[in-house]
Amino acid sequence: MRDSKTKGLIHVYTGNGKGKTTAALGTALRAAGHGLHVLIIQFMKKHGNIGEVKALAVTDLPITIMQFGRRVFFKTRTCETMDIHMAHQGLQCFKEAMESGIWDMIILDEITMAIYFGLLKQREVMDLIESRPPSLHLVLTGRKAPKGIRDMADLVTEMKEVKHYYQKGVQAQKGLEY
């Protein structure tokens, strides 16, 4: 479906506030509504019980989600060799997806956190982004987007946490956080 006259844009959704993945999924939904084929590659995630995965499984939308991670929540930079391996599998998936020509948009969910935690090197990610086909749209999400990634982007949105119910001890809610 990709139109060779379309200029592929790079969006980055970052910051400490809630809503980065949600914004990326909204962009995917909009793109799919116009017939674009969307691949969502989730780094550091492996959850089949999250709302977006369940919702997309029962639709005919041209959106595919692939997850490269474990069922753990990273709170520190302590990662295992397995985490690095899975992140590199995700990066290889990204490379092959770009080369396939199938996708109009690729979302790299939590890729900036994979860089931050040392699972991926910023330079290798940037090199792949620079090699993308000119009409391919990319969306990158995650806290702590490095300056080099921000500089490459056409759009950077920073989510800022002003108030969050976690601060009052409210746990993650089905349908809101997952």
CATH code where residue 78 lies = 3.40.50.300
Separation CA 111–CA 67 (nearest Å) = 12
- Residue 50: per-residue pLDDT: 79
- Residue 138: per-residue pLDDT: 98
Q: Would residue 176 count as lying in a domain? A: no
Q: Would residue 178 count as lying in a domain? A: no
Q: Would residue 24 count as lying in a domain? A: yes
DSSP annotation of 95 = H
The count of domains in the chain is: 1
User: 28 lies in which domain range?
Assistant: 10-168
Q: Would residue 126 count as lying in a domain? A: yes
Residue whose entry in the numeric block shows the structure tokens 């084929």: 37
Q: Would residue 175 count as lying in a domain? A: no
Q: Would residue 16 count as lying in a domain? A: yes
Q: Would residue 2 count as lying in a domain? A: no
The type of residue at 121 is K
Regions of the chain where pLDDT drops below 50: none
108 bridge partner residues:
41, 140
- Residue 4: per-residue pLDDT: 62
pLDDT in tens, 99-139: 999 999 999 999 999 999 999 999 999 999 999 999 999 99
The type of residue at 102 is I
Task: Pull the structure tokens for residue 177.
Answer: 């956080």
- Residue 2: per-residue pLDDT: 55
In the chain, what is the straight-line distance between the N-terminal and C-terminal CA atoms, in Å? 31
- Residue 100: per-residue pLDDT: 97
Q: Would residue 42 count as lying in a domain? A: yes
pTM for the full predicted model:
0.90
CA–CA distance from 70 to each of 44, 62, 114, 148, 165 (Å)?
Answer: 6, 25, 13, 27, 26
